[in-house]
Each structure stands twice: as C-alpha cells, then as structure tokens.
C-alpha cells in the first residue's frame, strides 16, 4: 500500500471516505485533516483525495 499515492489495485476491499467523511470519522475538522496530510495515508482518484477506514483505524482518535 502506498501513502499519498493512487488507489491501491491489490484487489483488496477498502471503504473509501472523502475528506469530510474522514474528518467526521476521526472527529476532527476537514481543515485539520488537510493540514496533516503528510501524516495521514490518502489516495488520489479522479482529482479527489480519498481515505480508507482501514488506514484511519490505525490512527489515534482524539
């Protein structure tokens, strides 16, 4: 799996979230998520930044 890369094509099943959905899932603001993009695994698909629940589960929730 690559961080800040393209959506993985490994054939796995992932639950993709938009920035707003990911922020709500982590209980932070979308701006906080955007400002910490170097530390949070994300993928790009069609010009959109997406996150997976599987990656976000590995992060500490506030």
DSSP SS3 for 16: strand
Q: How far is the C-alpha of 48 from the C-alpha of 50, rounded, in Å? A: 6
Per-residue pLDDT of 32-45, as tens digits, reads: 988 887 888 889 88
Q: Can you tell me the mean pLDDT for 11-36?
A: 87
- pTM value is 0.69
Q: 18 with 50: CB under 8 angstroms?
A: yes
Within 8 A by CB and 6+ apart from 25, the residues are 17, 53, 56
Burial of residue 13 (CB within 10 Å: 0-12, 13-18, 19+) is: exposed
Determine the pLDDT at residue 17.
93
């Amino acid at each position: 799996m690559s961080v800040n890369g393209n959506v993985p094509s490994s054939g796995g099943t992932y639950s993709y979230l938009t920035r707003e959905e990911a922020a709500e899932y982590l209980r932070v603001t979308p701006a906080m998520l955007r400002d910490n993009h170097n530390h949070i695994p994300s993928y790009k698909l069609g010009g959109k930044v997406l996150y997976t629940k599987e990656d976000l589960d590995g992060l500490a929730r506030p």
